[in-house]
Amino acid sequence: MIGAPMGTGRDRPWRVPLVVIALLLAAQFVLPDYHHTNMTRIMVFAVFAIGYNVAFGYAGLLSLGHAMFFAAGLYGAGLSAQFLGVSMPLAFLFGGLCGLVLALVVGLIALRTRGVSFMIVTLMFSQAVFLTILYFNEFTRGDEGFVLAQEIRQLRLGDTVLSLTDPALRYNLALGLFAACYLLGVALLRSPIGRVLVALRENESRVQMLGYNTFGYRLLALTLSGALSGLSGAAYALLFAYVGATFATTQYSIYPLLWVLMGGVGTALGPLIGTGLMFYLVDFASEITSSYLIVVGVVLVLLVLVFPKGLIGTLQERWRGARS
């Protein structure tokens, strides 16, 4: 893209992502154990946030039911590994596929509605998934959940057997997944499809009159979003060995919305920053008081006031303003 004619002022889109990924790669050697594990968790959840951002940030689909896609991945991977003895990589991919298929099916129905109705329909679907998990208590162990057996959490590469209990391996697997999804998010934003999605968010009827099948594009965004959320859930199950119905509750539909809002809606880096910030905010607040949600709430309100477009979104805007 460098040296494009007619002075477009186009930036180098891959510079920031590569720096961020390099920093994360280096961080594992300096982080104390506690933060090392936290970072692994944050990167896995950041993938969930990236998935949410594709639907909400790029295509303007405000879903209140994304926990169902995360849970689809979580249970898809967890159950297939636990009961069917599926290998880790396959269980992981199967989890992503579960998220994708669920999003496709839900999308075909829910995308006939818009705005508030869409929020309610996705919320209801998500609730139905949650209740389904409780209903099949025999396999899912309901609220209590189940822990993946240690002996199945192994990666076989030829003769070498790697255990997913190893923190360094977990960190780097999470980083690999995050990096891939992060770069995918950047590439999507810059692709022809991404440009249509962003335009769709602003004015759907205009996009239609340009000859685009907007239903198809919204479905594509939701399906991709569901697949990424599913991959995140699958990674969580396999890396942290726990599968439980808590992850299918409404709280886990609200979290990705908050992460994305905090980091910056529609930005590629926002999901990671928002997820990390929220994680440490909860962590810090719960150390000083048992009613930590009050602290979290106050900070959220302040953040929205100071950074109305999220941290990254507002900083980007100010930087652009300063340049021109």
For the bound state, the minimum distance from the C-beta of residue 228 to another protein, rounded and expressed in Å, comes to 17
Q: With beta carbons less than 8 A apart as the criterion, state whether 161 and 97 touch.
A: no
Per rule CB under 8 A, is residue 138 in the interface with another protein?
no
Would you say 6 or 306 has its CB closer to another protein?
6
Of the candidate residues 213, 251, 289, 291, the single one contacting another protein (CB under 8 A):
213
Q: DSSP string spanning 183-240?
A: HHHHHHHHSHHHHHHHHHHH-HHHHHHTT--HHHHHHHHHHHHHHHHHHHHHHHHHHH
Of the candidate residues 2, 6, 23, 30, the single one contacting another protein (CB under 8 A):
6
Stretch touching another protein by CB under 8 A, among 19-27, 33-41, 195-203, 249-257: 195-203
Return phi, psi of residue 105, to 5°. Answer: -65, -50
For the bound state, the minimum distance from the C-beta of residue 119 to another protein, rounded and expressed in Å, comes to 23
Total site size for another protein, rule CB under 8 A: 26
Question: What pairing do the DSSP bridges indicate for beta strands 154-157 and 160-163?
Answer: antiparallel
Encoded one letter per residue, x for contact with another protein by CB under 8 A and - for no contact, window 7-46 reads -xx-------------------------------------
Of the candidate residues 117, 163, 203, 289, the single one contacting another protein (CB under 8 A):
203
Please state, in angstroms and rounded to a whole number, the distance separating the CA atoms of residues 319 and 137.
Answer: 52
Stretch touching another protein by CB under 8 A, among 76-84, 95-103, 162-170, 185-193: 185-193
- Report the chain's C-alpha Rg in angstroms: 20
Q: With beta carbons less than 8 A apart as the criterion, state whether 224 and 69 touch.
A: no
For the bound state, the minimum distance from the C-beta of residue 267 to another protein, rounded and expressed in Å, comes to 14
Of the candidate residues 209, 288, 305, 322, the single one contacting another protein (CB under 8 A):
209
State the Cα angle at 62 between 57 and 68, rounded to 5°.
105
For the bound state, the minimum distance from the C-beta of residue 42 to another protein, rounded and expressed in Å, comes to 29
Please state, in angstroms and rounded to a whole number, the distance separating the CA atoms of residues 204 and 284.
Answer: 42
List of E strands, the chain: 146-147, 154-157, 160-163, 242-243
Stretch touching another protein by CB under 8 A, among 28-36, 74-82, 99-107, 199-207: 199-207
Of the candidate residues 2, 116, 161, 210, the single one contacting another protein (CB under 8 A):
210
Nearest alpha-carbon partner for 133 in 252, 247, 232: 247
Residue numbers at the binding site for another protein (CB under 8 A): 1, 4-6, 8-9, 187, 191-193, 195-196, 198-199, 202-203, 205-214
